């Protein structure tokens, strides 16, 4: 199995925020924290694009590299998780993350940071799988229930894809081939071997 990955298809995202709502509901995310957000570029301008952003579970995670108390760990499936019992709420991970994934509840006295909270790929945390303690700290453990993250499974247009990296990449590639455009996106050559691999030409896939 490859690593678990998210992919958001900006051609399909309609900025409905269903993924945000699904995440908040499924994991009972605390007030003031959004593990997932929808970001819109060129809002209101024809051709605007939206994309759903959360923790990307990086293969070389900056949050993991800068954490002074080493509360992060990576599972065999490539999901980056953290231990809230170890987190000291320093905020280094928040500054290091290019996606703004680590967030902090802000209802503490004098705005004091609480324990960091972030997307878990619906995989819970180091507590016992499916336990009440795990749910209260990290939310639902859908992976251990044989399910995929709620945000992606709830996405109405299937813009947000989640799952095994190979499967997700294959689904996205199929879409691009059917659309007849999209292979020019940055990173296509890295993902599929060459800049022209999978590019539709006169209805025939190379």
Partner 1 sequence: MRRLPATVALVSALVLLAACTEKPQTNAHGVRLDAAPWTGTGTKPDTGTAFTASGWQIGDRSSWEQHLKTRAQNQNEYNRIN
Note the residues at the interface with partner 1 (CB under 8 A). Answer: 1, 60-61, 64-65, 70-77, 81, 83, 85-86, 123-126, 128-130, 141, 143-148, 152-153, 155, 158, 161-164, 167-168, 171, 174-175, 178
Minimum gap (Å) between residue 166 Cβ and partner 1: 8
Minimum gap (Å) between residue 14 Cβ and partner 1: 15
Non-local (6+) Cβ contacts of 68 within 8 A are 88, 90, 92
- C-alpha count within 13 angstroms, C-beta hemisphere, residue 82: 28
Residue of 32, 11, 31 lying closest to 160 (CA atoms): 11
Q: Yes or no: say if 103 and 144 are a contact pair by the CB < 8 Å rule.
A: no
53 vs 79 by CB, closer to partner 1: 79
Q: Yes or no: say if 155 and 177 are a contact pair by the CB < 8 Å rule.
A: no
Non-local (6+) Cβ contacts of 202 within 8 A are none
46 vs 68 by CB, closer to partner 1: 68
Minimum gap (Å) between residue 181 Cβ and partner 1: 16
Minimum gap (Å) between residue 158 Cβ and partner 1: 5
38 vs 160 by CB, closer to partner 1: 160
Q: Yes or no: say if 118 and 101 are a contact pair by the CB < 8 Å rule.
A: yes
33 vs 154 by CB, closer to partner 1: 154
Minimum gap (Å) between residue 63 Cβ and partner 1: 11
First-last CA distance in the chain: 26
Minimum gap (Å) between residue 130 Cβ and partner 1: 3
45 vs 76 by CB, closer to partner 1: 76
In whole angstroms, what is the distance from residue 161 CA to residue 137 CA? 25
39 vs 167 by CB, closer to partner 1: 167
């Amino acid at each position: 199995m490859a690593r678990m990955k998210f992919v958001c298809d900006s051609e399909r995202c309609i900025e409905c925020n269903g993924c945000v709502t699904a995440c908040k509901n499924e994991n009972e995310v605390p007030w003031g924290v959004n593990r997932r957000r929808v970001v819109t570029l060129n809002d209101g301008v024809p051709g605007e694009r939206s994309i759903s952003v959360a923790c990307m579970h990086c293969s070389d995670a900056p949050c993991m590299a800068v954490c002074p108390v080493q509360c992060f760990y990576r599972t065999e499936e490539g999901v980056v998780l953290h231990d809230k019992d170890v987190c000291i709420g320093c905020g280094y991970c928040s500054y290091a993350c290019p996606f703004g994934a680590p967030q902090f509840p802000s209802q503490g006295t004098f705005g004091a940071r609480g324990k960091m909270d972030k997307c878990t790929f619906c995989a819970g945390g180091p507590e016992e799988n499916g336990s009440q303690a795990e749910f209260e700290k990290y939310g639902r453990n859908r992976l251990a229930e044989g399910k995929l993250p709620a945000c992606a499974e709830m996405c109405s247009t299937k813009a947000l894809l989640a799952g095994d990296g190979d499967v997700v990449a294959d689904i996205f590639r199929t879409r691009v081939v059917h659309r007849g455009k999209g292979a020019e996106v940055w990173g296509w050559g890295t993902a599929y071997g060459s800049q022209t691999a999978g590019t539709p030409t006169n209805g025939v896939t190379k």
